[in-house]
Structure formats: structure tokens, C-alpha cells
Amino acid sequence: MADAEFSHLPQDVRPIAALDAAARIAHIRVARWVQHAAADRVLGYLHEALAQPPRERMENLLLVGESGMGKKMLIRKFERQTIAAVDDAGGVQRRPVVVMLMPHQPTEAQFFGQLLGALHAPVAGHFIRGFPLQDPAVRLLHELGTRVVVIDELNSLLAGTPRQQRVFLQLLRFLSNELRLAFVGVGVPEARHALLSDSQLRSRFTDIELSPWSLSEDLRDFVARLTWSLPLRQPSPVDSPKLRRLLVERTGGITLGICKAFERAAIAATREGREKIDLSSFEDPEIWRGVATPSRTVRTQPRATMAQQPA
Ligand SMILES: Nc1ncnc2c1ncn2[C@@H]1O[C@H](COP(=O)(O)OP(=O)(O)OP(=O)(O)O)[C@@H](O)[C@H]1O
Ligand SMILES: [Mg+2]
């Protein structure tokens, strides 16, 4: 089939639209990054954090968003962007950005164990023999030229005892001062509480938020881009306020629910030979299977995405 037939799709998706149904369904199921305005704004802040010169008082970020808003996808995107930019700087691979997961036990040993794991360093032996892990971790961060450490699921810190939490925040403050690198904490909105018990540290974090989708131009744009990423052979009439309202109501504005509904609608359209998504696609209850109905209030007005933490 000639590419020109799929002129409603971006160039790179057109050859995929020519594949058979099974191959196209497989493509729809694979995770892919869909660009959107809120993500671009957050990526801008992350790149600013990365561009800071080393100094005693680094600006750290706290990125919060409801579960399924796409925080992990966004920080992985940030990581990929920064690796690509410096990869062939010669010899040693540089890792300006390191993404780690907050350990479930907020102890120093667990933290450095996770960090070394994220740096792809072998740690198991050290753990068994009870070696201190701070020195090798600090040395490695230096060698790799790390400027930003992203700690995903920072809210796990709240599972620790108050004492463990305090000690952990002290460690973070020490590392921030000592290494002169920026931390980006990532988590659900409860993660804000995780930093509260250390006011000195808290004042060094600026909050940014990935808010649930509201009925906005940003959502309209996201729906268009999401649809372009799906190899359907016919153009999909999805640019409708009614459709957007349905999406926000059914998902509470959570990205995960929106993406899931579009993927299922695209798979059904491919199987049934309809080859497009429209409002009626979302009337099938099967589309919404397992998509959580909103528990928190659905906002219809966009919220400010960045708020400076009061000192
Ligand atoms: N920009 C995007 N492009 C494409 N899909 C996205 C995007 N953002 C989110 N998604 C979809 O939403 C799902 C959830 O995203 P992710 O795991 O990043 O959420 P999260 O905010 O880290 O959630 P949690 O707090 O539960 O860990 C992804 O698996 C993907 O299907
Ligand atoms: Mg996540």
C-alpha cells in the first residue's frame, strides 16, 4: 500500500499502518512517548536543574502527580535526552542524570544500594559483607559526571519511622551540600509530606506538578498526538469537546486511563476493520475495563503547574 494513502499520519507511522492487523496491534501495545504541553514544561524545569553550576545551595525539585499521570515516563524521557546529548564525549560514559527508586526501607545502606544499582555497579557482595557503600557511590557519581539524581517514589520514605525519616533527610541534605548536585524527588502528592520534617531541606526544593487533565487546549493537543501515534488507516474524528469531556469524566484526568482507552479503542478498530476512533468507540464498556473511576475531585479548570515553596 502506498504511503501517501496514510497522509493523516506522521511520516514515521505510515509504514506501520501498512502492516497486517496482528503487527499493528502489537505496535499499539508497545509503550511509546507521546509529547504534551505539561510534560514539555516539566522537562524544561528538569533541564534547568541540570544546567545549574555546582554550588553550595543547589535548587532541587519535587515533582508530584497522581498515580498514572506519567511521572516515570517523563523522568525516563529526561534521562534519555541527557544521555543522547553527551554519549560520544569520548571514552568514559557520562551519566549526567541518574534515576533511582526510593528504597522501601529508608536506611543509608538501602539508599546507597539502590543508587549503586541505578549506576549499574555491582553491590551484592558489598551488602553481604556489610561494607559501607557511601564512598564507592560518591566516587562513581564523580566519575560519571552526575549532576542530577532523580529519586522516584519518594513517598516511600513515609513508610519509615519518624527517626528513619529524619536521618534520611539529613543524609540527603549532606549529599546535596557535599556533592553539589541537584536532587529531583518524584512521587504522588503525599510525597510533599516526606520532606516536611526538615525545613532547611524543604526550602531547597521547588514544587512542580503534573496535574490531572482538565478540559483545555492542552488536552485537545494531547488527544491529537496520541491518535497520531496509532497506526489506523482512516483519520479519526476525535477533536470534539464531548469526547474530551467523556475522557476527563471517566478517567479523572489521569493519563494512564486516557492512554489505555485509546489503545483499546484502536485495537478494536483494527480488529473490526473500522480503522478509526470516534466518540462511539468509547461507548463500549470494554474500553473502560479496569480504568479506575476518579476518587479525587475532577478539576475542570487548569491548575498552576509551578508553585514556589514558601520559605
Ligand atoms: N507522555 C506519555 N506518553 C504516552 N503514554 C503515557 C505518557 N504519560 C503517561 N502515559 C501512560 O500512563 C502510564 C502510567 O505512567 P507512569 O508509570 O509514568 O505513571 P506514574 O505517574 O509514575 O504513576 P505512579 O505514581 O503510579 O508510579 C504509562 O504506562 C503510559 O501508558
Ligand atoms: Mg511512577
Proximal ligand: closest to the CA of 70: 1
Alpha helices in 196-276 (DSSP H): 199-202, 217-228, 241-251, 255-271
Res. 309 pLDDT band, cuts 50 70 90: very low
The confidence score (pLDDT) of residue 85 equals 58
Mutate to test the pocket of ligand 1, among 35, 66, 72 (most ligand atoms within 8 A of CB): 72
Residue whose CA is closest, atom 27 of ligand 1? Answer: 67
Q: What is the mean pLDDT of residues 123-150?
A: 76
CA angle 205/207/210 to nearest 5° reads 145
**Is the per-residue pLDDT at 196 higher than 90?**
no
Res. 302 pLDDT band, cuts 50 70 90: very low
Domain range annotation of the chain: 3-30+213-288, 37-210
Proximal ligand: closest to the CA of 64: 1
Q: Are 148 and 211 in contact (CB under 8 A)?
A: no
> Of 123, 105, 101, whose CA–CA distance to 113 is shortest?
123
Listed residues: CB within 5 A of ion ligand 2: 71-72
Mutate to test the pocket of ligand 1, among 41, 99, 208, 255 (most ligand atoms within 8 A of CB): 255
Res. 5 pLDDT band, cuts 50 70 90: confident
Quick: pLDDT tens for 140-186: 898 888 999 999 999 999 999 999 999 999 999 888 888 899 999 99
Quick: pLDDT tens for 245-287: 999 999 999 999 999 999 999 999 999 999 999 999 999 999 9
Res. 303 pLDDT band, cuts 50 70 90: very low
Q: What is the CATH number of domain 37-210?
A: 3.40.50.300
Proximal ligand: closest to the CA of 210: 1
Pocket around ligand 1 at a 6 A CB cut-off: 31, 33-34, 36, 39, 65, 67-73, 188, 255-256, 259
From residue 49, alpha-carbon distances to 79, 145, 307 in Å are 13, 15, 16
